[in-house]
Structure 1
């Protein structure tokens, strides 16, 4: 049973990624390449199209993972310094609500992902059916990732509790101690339960000194492709 569910999940990811790439990637584009397991399928399809159709694509990574994906698939690697305006950003999400607000950062790359997304003309999200919710916090139970300056860890925990959250310092799996982001910061996972007003919550968190950014992506996504259990892809448009 577990094997079957996992197979459906992977099929959903792949179908969503392929459809998103085929409907949005065009010749001579500068692409933002997001992070996560679903993006792997997107990069595979981008590389196939780029090779066959000579699309002359340029790719900007959001993480070490996506940097490696770009290099491994022989795509042209460029930087935000070279191309500060991005045509299209393809990324995954931990959860998507009805208004295309997102929770991201389960993989720890939220700051880079938000920088790339905010400098893109269009943010396309690819995900499987588990990530689709009416409200943020309904399906994703690990909380909102918040990247913080390490020295602020203890007071920030207290301030986030006053906002109604239950913060947990994300701990590393292969080393003793906390996860350290690509930027050298800590990540708190803050459980707020079901989030009725993600925009307001995001602004409140961002006003706390020591917060670098949050995993709440508000009014950034233009379209989301959700791979369903039956193999079809649900398209959500802003």
Structure 2
């Protein structure tokens, strides 16, 4: 069993009959979906799936899940999603796919938000090894960039890579990427950036994840929220 499969199967055990289940996007969440399909077929597990993205909606249809669109529900009993990084304090970086605004709405709607990942995404403490996305309305990007510079963060527009032009989010906006320094107050940074006019959201998730299921060579490691 590979690491992602180990994490996905273990995390799917949290779902019980009658739950409204948020399903995020990515290769590890795919294993959650596969295990929920198995449990539905073998154990008669019944639940309502709520996909966070169009590709996941297609998977729900393909697997015969009863589902609702995100805009049609006001809360989720549990939600699963992947990440770019997760640390020992359940601080999370998301937004490699430039969908962090919807992903944060999705996560905050859940009574229990579960990160599923393999150990390549796990670090003891978040640092500057991956980009942190800031979603910005187009007309504000220069002023936001100047404000980020004053906060001590150099930023760059995210290019599409495989095609000409910039990455455009599902909300029709653009992305400025920054790098963490590794010693900052993450909550203060989150609050400072999201208060800038023209910013929709930043891809750091602080105090949102309830646990993380991390696949390793030795099975699944579970990181729980420290309640003290």
TM range (shorter): over 0.9
**Aligned partners of 1:78 and 1:38: how far apart in 2?**
21
- Give ranges in structure 1 of 5+ residues lacking alignment: 1-9
- Give ranges in structure 2 of 5+ residues lacking alignment: none
Match of 1:142 among 130, 133, 138: 130
Corresponding residue number in structure 1 for 2:158: 170
Mapped contact 1:94–1:105 kept (Cα < 8 A): yes
Mapped contact 2:135–2:173 kept (Cα < 8 A): yes
Mapped contact 2:81–2:114 kept (Cα < 8 A): yes
Corresponding residue number in structure 2 for 1:108: 98
TM-score, normalization: structure 2? 0.93
Bigger mean CA offset, 186-195 vs 103-112? 186-195
Corresponding residue number in structure 2 for 1:224: 212
Match of 1:13 among 4, 8, 17: 4
Bigger mean CA offset, 86-95 vs 145-154? 145-154
Mapped contact 1:124–1:222 kept (Cα < 8 A): yes
Instruction: Confirm whether residue 92 of structure 1 aligns to residue 82 of structure 2.
Output: yes
Corresponding residue number in structure 2 for 1:213: 201
Matches of residues 3-82 of structure 1 in structure 2 within 5 Å? Answer: 11-22=2-13, 24-82=14-72
For residues 181 and 195 of structure 1, do their structure 2 counterparts lie closer, same or farther at Cα, with a shift above 3 Å needed? farther
Instruction: Confirm whether residue 118 of structure 1 aligns to residue 105 of structure 2.
Output: no
Match of 2:73 among 67, 79, 83: 83
Mapped contact 1:11–1:231 kept (Cα < 8 A): no
Instruction: Confirm whether residue 203 of structure 1 aligns to residue 194 of structure 2.
Output: no
**Aligned-residue offset at 1:27:** 0.8
Mapped contact 1:62–1:109 kept (Cα < 8 A): no
**Aligned partners of 1:161 and 1:215: how far apart in 2?**
18
**Aligned partners of 2:120 and 2:196: how far apart in 1?**
31
Instruction: Give 3-state SS (helix, strand or coil) of 1:89's partner.
Output: strand
Instruction: Give 3-state SS (helix, strand or coil) of 1:174's partner.
Output: coil
**Aligned partners of 2:160 and 2:59: how far apart in 1?**
23
**Aligned-residue offset at 1:82:** 3.2
Instruction: Give 3-state SS (helix, strand or coil) of 1:188's partner.
Output: strand
Q: Pairwise CA RMSD of aligned residues?
A: 1.6
For residues 195 and 106 of structure 1, do their structure 2 counterparts lie closer, same or farther at Cα, with a shift above 3 Å needed? farther
Q: For residues 39-74 of structure 1, give each alpha carbon's deviation from its aligned partner in whole angstroms, at most 9, with x where no partner exists.
A: 111111112212222222111121222222222222
**Aligned partners of 2:190 and 2:102: how far apart in 1?**
17
**Aligned partners of 2:190 and 2:201: how far apart in 1?**
9
Bigger mean CA offset, 34-43 vs 66-75? 66-75
Q: Give the length in aligned residue pairs.
A: 225
